Chains A and B, each alone.
Chain A
Amino acid sequence: MTFLRHVIFTEILLKKTRYIKTDILIIGGGAAGCMAAIFAKKKAPHLDVMILEKAHVRRSGCLAKGLNAVNACLVDSTPDEYLKYVKNDNFDIVRSDLILSIGERLNRMIKLIEDLGVPMHKNDCGGYENRSPRSILMDGEYLKPLLFEAVMSCGVKVYNRTPVYRLLKSRGGEAVTGAAGFNVRTLEPVLAEARAVLICTGGASGIYHPSNAGLERTKTWYCPYNAGAGLAMGLRAGAEMTSFEMRFVALRTKDVVAPTGTLVLGRNVRQCNSKGEVFLEKAKKEMGRNLNTSERLFYTVKEQKNGKGPCYIDISRLGSEEYTSLIKSYLNMSPSIILELLGEHNNKRTSIEICGSEPYINGGHGMAGFWIDTKRRTTLKGLYAAGDVAGGAPKKYLSGCFAEAEIAIDDILGRWNDLFLPAGLEIEHSSEIETLFTPICPEKANSFSEVEERLHKIMEEYAGGCTQNYETDHDKLILAKKYLNVLSEKTNHMKAGDGHELMRVQDTIDRILLARTLLEHMDMRKETRWPCYHTRLDYPERDDGSFRVFINSRIIDNKISVFKRRLNDPYELI
């Protein structure tokens, strides 16, 4: 590969910036972004709708691998029961209003998935085949290309390979009126202006040391190319964020990090420790209730700590038909595990080791993300958020992301005339572009991978990474903050030899900002609410008296401020 390091800066300055004007700008063409674009075009065909996408919409984001189930579906249940389940699973800290608004739409969204042409599993009565009260099965390998085809067929404009890193505001700063990024291939700076901006960029992986090392480091559970750009640009623009400290940690198969739900739900298998004990059943009996998602991870980690690891899923009881169905299910979502399942000489495996992933910042499984209202408006005028980037409503999954996309688009269209009309891109906006290109420094700068590794090391060791059993305390968090501050000062210059490397540099800068914000959240919540997601060794119990609240954050005067908000509407500051 030819490195352009020495000529790149002058080359970019000479390039003409591409100015784009549209009605509705959608940042990120993943599940939420694609569905939002489709809704917008179907409901208001006369409007110009545009997606700016970091990769290529056809196979990008979390759905790049495919999906074998919809985990938020109300099979014989109601939105209220869905809320009750999510609230209970998250130890009460959730935005009930957001969850209800999702719950009301879930089953309609599933019909839309079927209408896209995704083969859904049906039972003898013609209904969806479910593997749990909230999860239905599908063959979703081709889901993303189907979404892409639908996006293109309704006339949405798509700019692929165009990552976005800055939000643009009107001259007086009263509203968000656009976004700035660049084309990875041509290095052409891109400034887009719109009447409404909807962020659908997803959550962030790559904050912690991955659970695999070396050449295996990108075998993460959450999409490794989701760097949390939307969260970072929102923070920089002054938007309020919520619940970063509720990190999502997935209980996954070891090595290839495939989902365990596919193994466990609706199948005749057992989760055991190395002694063959069915430890979750024991914990369930002791607690006298079902375990929450975070507790199932916690007890798995606990067995390992107590010398009863590794833990595994015993699949020896699966009949050959069920084994084939398991393989087919994984081919739709996490194909690499087939190489493990069938192994050498085609011998069937009888057990699969499981462990926790590294922690992620995510609003689709967890509830970290933009602080929004029921209309999916962020705290910045003209800016909306939907999907994994939107906080407060965990366990929304695919169908919930679609629901949020519809809610946001409905509100945008419903108040179209009240939205701020952008006055045209201003000269000062090009300074935003300059900040994107300044990291390109020819001499003595660090590479993004060096900086990434430093970030991972700090977060892993001081902020409760996988190897620390997800535990941390105040003193460690203080150290992590100190080291990250030093690191973030050093990142003004990083090496970038081409468009791909410039994107990676910007991703790294974003991840450091998100990690710093996460540390502030974790330090403020002086309790252990969600085991493993947020475990404080210095405050090992739940403290409902002080912490039945949301921890939110916002950048004020270049400083990350964290504060508490009450649990119920109108969510006053405390």
Chain B
Amino acid sequence: MTVRIDLTLCNGCTDRLESICEEICPGDLLYRKDGKVFLREPSDCWDCFACVKECPSKALSIELPFQISESRQRLTACMKENSILWRLVDQEGKDLAKYLLKNRVISKNNK
């Protein structure tokens, strides 16, 4: 399994018609049931991180499948106004590394 959904953090975006991750997944792989989001078929996931980046509850992260690595470290991301904060965390969620990357230039032209 690659996308990991922390069901204690996921609120299913129940105020929306569709949860955000369900709405944007390029593979149409996430669905909501009883107020939580689930992955339809883990082996169909591309690891594109679209859902991880856009999740407002920070409930999603990606870990390498066991087939590739025994490491259970996870990568997660959090969108800021014009940047994205990446976090590499261990199994307990403790930070191992952080990277803040600018992802847009907000100017008069494009605002």
Contact = CB atoms under 8 A, between A and B. Distances in A.
Interface of A: 1, 55-56, 58-61, 64-66, 115-119, 139, 141-142, 146, 150, 160-161, 184, 212-220, 223-225, 255-256, 327-328, 331-332, 335-336, 338-340, 342-344, 346, 500, 503
Contact of B97 (A1, A64, A213, A342): A342
Contacts, number: 147
Interface of B: 1-2, 23-28, 31, 33, 40, 42-50, 53-54, 62-65, 67-71, 73-75, 77, 84, 86, 88, 96-97, 99, 101-107, 109-110
Contacts of B40: 1, 500
30 contacts: A55-B24, A55-B26, A55-B27, A55-B28, A56-B26, A61-B26, A64-B50, A66-B49, A116-B110, A142-B84, A146-B104, A214-B67, A215-B67, A216-B68, A218-B43, A219-B46, A220-B46, A224-B27, A225-B27, A255-B68, A256-B64, A327-B99, A331-B84, A332-B101, A336-B49, A339-B63, A339-B64, A343-B69, A344-B73, A346-B96
A350 to B, nearest CB: 17
Contact of A117 (B24, B48, B50, B104): B104
Contacts of B104: 117-119, 142, 146
B101 A328 contact: yes
A56 B28 CA distance: 9
Given A56-B23, A64-B26, A119 B64 contact: no
A184 to B, nearest CB: 6
Contacts of A220: 46
B46 A218 contact: yes
Contacts of A142: 84, 103-104
Given A1-B31, A343-B71, 4 more contacts: A141-B101, A217-B43, A224-B27, A338-B88
Contacts of A66: 49
B109 A115 contact: yes
Select the residue from A55, A59, A331, A342 with max chain B CB neighbours within 10 A.
A59
B84 A119 contact: no
Nearest to B27: A225
B65 A60 contact: no
A335 B84 CA distance: 12
A324 B43 CA distance: 30
Contacts of B62: 335-336, 339
B43 A338 contact: no
Shortest 8 CB-CB contacts between residues of A and residues of B: A59-B50, A142-B103, A117-B110, A64-B48, A64-B26, A55-B26, A65-B48, A59-B24
Contacts of B65: 215-216
A156 to B, nearest CB: 16
Contacts of B107: 117
A1 to B, nearest CB: 7
Select the residue from B24, B65, B67, B106 with max chain A CB neighbours within 10 A.
B24
Nearest to A30: B26
B70 to A, nearest CB: 8
